[in-house]
Structure 1
Amino acid sequence: MQQSSTRVGRVPALFASALATDPVRPLLTYYDDATGERTELSAEALAEWVARTANLLVHGCGLGIGARAAVLLPPHWQTAAVLLGTWSAGVSVSFHGTATAGLPRLGPGVEEPFDVTYAALGRIDDWLDHVPEAEHRFVLGYAPDAAPLAEPPTGYRDYLTEVRRHDANLRPYVPLRPDDAASVDGTSYADWGRLARGMADEVFDLRPGDRLLVDAAEHEHPVKWLLAPLAAGATVVLCANLDPATVARRSRAERVTRVL
């Protein structure tokens, strides 16, 4: 399957392609079987969160190319917004606490300092000794209705409160080059694009229009549940705390073509 150089050239272009292809189709549908949450985002809806995140970093924090972000977040639709927005701002990312077998090393062992840290509320205590120091520290509570936290932990700002202060339109920044670092270990935007494309083709055998159901607990690294589907032109049904008894019924309801 041939892809244009724009599509594989840098990570944000993968999302831009999905947005251009069909802005209103369900791009990312999130389930949490522990809470009963179901949140569905079109590419257009996700793009607003991506833009707000990028604007938060650039205009709210004064960050851009050369800045570094530590991401201690589980698979979630808000995590997709954080990652795509951070990359769109030109900020490189370190994925802490995610399985990286067979992938570039992107977790603990990467030297500090970081400019920004994103941490999940339920993981802050678990990662207390590993949360990197950073000037800007945001916490995500992952409430089912995307409600802000009433009282963020000391030293953190609530991501949802802060991100909503910013424009939902992505402002033009310094253009990203394919060889700019998308992750703090130096892996470039082009490298991640190629990795996502290869995984989509050779590991998952995804095709444009596929709808992929993903068990979040089994596939925590975002190249699997976010970048590879974007590279293939597929959409995602991302399931946290997945109840195996729901898979067949949910697959029919969501018109799933592949299960991961």
Structure 2
Amino acid sequence: MTATDRTPADLLRSALAADPGRPLVTFYDDATGERVELSVATFANWVAKTANLLQGDLGAGPGDRVALLLPAHWQTAVWLLACSSVGVVADVAGDAGAADVVVSGPDSLEAARACGGERVALALRPLGGRFPQVPEGFVDYAVEVPGQGDRFVPFSPVDPEDAALIVAGREFTGAEVVERARDAAAGLGLTGPGARILSGLEFDTWEGLRAGLYGALATGGSVVLCRHLGELGEEALAKRIESERVTAVVR
């Protein structure tokens, strides 16, 4: 993080420049036993590929709206930063019918069909696996993204004062996302580089996004993102907190 970072994509670029090998997102799904750890470099590579898919194959650009019908998941975090990189508005749990592009998990495909534009489906399987059969009317993210470029350059510069995020009906510019993430970091226990927050919150509120992604990104910290955390008992949770060297918990 630097003083000149004005968008979430800026925050990621600064994190990559500072320490590409450190963990950024560690994801658990306690319904399946999945664990995935992404370093800053690996996460940034997924973001670049996804941004290239979004801008190139899907034809999205500044001002377009992308409805993200996805749970709290490491791939959702990738899409949020890809949207910031391109300059499109990430509408979390938004109206697919009002979106230019919709990105859906396996449980929201019917709602996603309301989108008259491009539709992308994520299987959300371990290791980014594909659908056994691609849902009709969608492209499979896991099929399309591997062949995308590892470097991303937007066709148009991203304006930090443009709309960047809609969550729970509230719209934020890129600059507001960064400012609010920085301002809230201390209250979350993210006191600087090395801080590590465990979040069991969904991504459909600002509080969930702040704890599960933006707060750590804005402070040089990292996040342990847990889906279905209710499946985990208190003793197992305490062991995870210890083994993952967690310094703050939000659930």
1:230 paired residue among 197, 211, 217: 217
Alpha-carbon distance between aligned partners in 1 of 2:23 and 2:172, rounded to the nearest angstrom: 30
Alpha-carbon distance between aligned partners in 1 of 2:59 and 2:121, rounded to the nearest angstrom: 19
Which residue in the other structure is 1:150 paired with? Answer: 132
Residues 1-50 of structure 1 deviation map (CA, whole Å, 9 limit, x = unaligned): xx74323x112112122212210111111111111111000010011110
Structure 2 letter corresponding to 1:180: D
Residues 28-81 of structure 1 deviation map (CA, whole Å, 9 limit, x = unaligned): 111111111110000100111100111001111222112110011111111111
Which residue in the other structure is 1:177 paired with? Answer: 159
Query: Do residues 137 (structure 1) and 119 (structure 2) align?
Result: yes
Alpha-carbon distance between aligned partners in 2 of 1:254 and 1:85, rounded to the nearest angstrom: 27
User: Against the structure 1 CA distance between its residues 172 and 135, is the aligned structure 2 distance closer, same or farther, given a 3 Å change threshold?
Assistant: closer
Which residue in the other structure is 1:248 paired with? Answer: 238
- Helix, strand or coil at the partner of 1:6: coil
TM-score, with normalisation over the residues of structure 1?
0.85
2:73 paired residue among 73, 76, 82: 76
Which residue in the other structure is 2:142 paired with? Answer: 160
Alpha-carbon distance between aligned partners in 2 of 1:11 and 1:259, rounded to the nearest angstrom: 22
RMSD over aligned Cα atoms: 2.1
Which residue in the other structure is 1:100 paired with? Answer: none
The structure that is helix-richer by fraction is: 2
Residues 96-145 of structure 1 deviation map (CA, whole Å, 9 limit, x = unaligned): 1xxxxxxxxxx45xx953211011102335xx3x7641311011111113
Unaligned runs of 5+ in 2: none
1:16 paired residue among 13, 16, 19: 13
TM-score, with normalisation over the residues of structure 2?
0.88
User: Against the structure 1 CA distance between its residues 5 and 217, is the aligned structure 2 distance closer, same or farther, given a 3 Å change threshold?
Assistant: closer
Alpha-carbon distance between aligned partners in 1 of 2:113 and 2:236, rounded to the nearest angstrom: 35
Query: Do residues 44 (structure 1) and 29 (structure 2) align?
Result: no
Structure 1 residue 187, shift from structure 2 partner? 2.3
Please say if residues 14 and 227 of structure 1, whose CA atoms lie closer than 8 Å, have aligned partners that are also in contact.
Answer: no
Once the two structures are superposed, the pairs formed by residues 59-70 of structure 1 within 5 Å of their partners are 59-70=56-67
Please list every run of at least 4 consecutive aligned residues from structure 1 whose deviation after the TM superposition is greater than 3 angstroms.
216-221
Structure 1 residue 161, shift from structure 2 partner? 0.9
Alpha-carbon distance between aligned partners in 1 of 2:185 and 2:113, rounded to the nearest angstrom: 31
Please say if residues 15 and 40 of structure 2, whose CA atoms lie closer than 8 Å, have aligned partners that are also in contact.
Answer: yes
User: Against the structure 1 CA distance between its residues 219 and 63, is the aligned structure 2 distance closer, same or farther, given a 3 Å change threshold?
Assistant: closer
Once the two structures are superposed, the pairs formed by residues 89-168 of structure 1 within 5 Å of their partners are 89-96=86-93, 107=94, 112-125=97-110, 128=111, 132-168=114-150
Comparing 211-220 with 66-75, greater Cα deviation is found at 211-220
How many residues align? The count is: 241
